[in-house]
Amino acid sequence: MGVSVIVFGLVQLVPGDPIRLALGTRFDQETYDALLARSGLDQPLVTQYFSWAGRALTGDLGVSFRSGETVTSLIAERLPATLTLAFASILVALLIAVPLGTLSALRPRSVVDRVATVLSQIGISVPEFWMAIVLILVFAGTLGWLPSGGYVPLTEDPAGWAQRLLMPAVVTGVVSGSVITRFVRSSVLEALGADHVRTAQAKGLPGRQVFTWHVLRNALLPLVTVTGVQLAYLLSGVVVVEIVFAWPGLGQLALQAVQSRDYPVLQGAILLFAVVFLLINLVVDLLYTAIDPRIRR
What gap in Å lies between CA 279 and CA 187, rounded to an integer? Answer: 25
Task: State pLDDT tens for residues 154-205.
Answer: 888 889 899 999 999 999 999 999 999 988 888 888 888 878 778 887 888 7
CATH code assigned at 141: 1.10.3720.10
Do residue 185 and residue 277 come from a single domain? yes
Give domain status of residue 152, yes or no. yes
Do residue 87 and residue 208 come from a single domain? yes
Which residue range(s) make up the domain with 112?
Answer: 71-291
Do residue 80 and residue 220 come from a single domain? yes
Task: State pLDDT tens for residues 134-150.
Answer: 999 999 888 888 898 88
Do residue 29 and residue 155 come from a single domain? no
Average pLDDT over the chain reads 85
Give domain status of residue 124, yes or no. yes
Rg (CA), the chain: 24
Do residue 138 and residue 255 come from a single domain? yes
Give domain status of residue 297, yes or no. no
Give domain status of residue 66, yes or no. no
Task: Give mean pLDDT, residues 47-70.
Answer: 83
Do residue 143 and residue 185 come from a single domain? yes
Does the pLDDT of residue 33 top 90, yes or no? no
Considering its fold, how many domains does the chain have in total? 2
Give domain status of residue 205, yes or no. yes
What gap in Å lies between CA 121 and CA 117, rounded to an integer? Answer: 6
* Distance between start and end Cα atoms, the chain: 31
Task: State pLDDT tens for residues 240-288.
Answer: 888 889 888 888 888 888 887 788 888 888 888 888 888 998 988 888 8
Task: State pLDDT tens for residues 97-126.
Answer: 999 988 888 888 889 889 988 988 998 898
- pLDDT at residue 223 in the model: 86
Do residue 15 and residue 160 come from a single domain? no
Taking the mean position of all CA atoms in its chain, how far away is CA 172? 9
Do residue 104 and residue 242 come from a single domain? yes
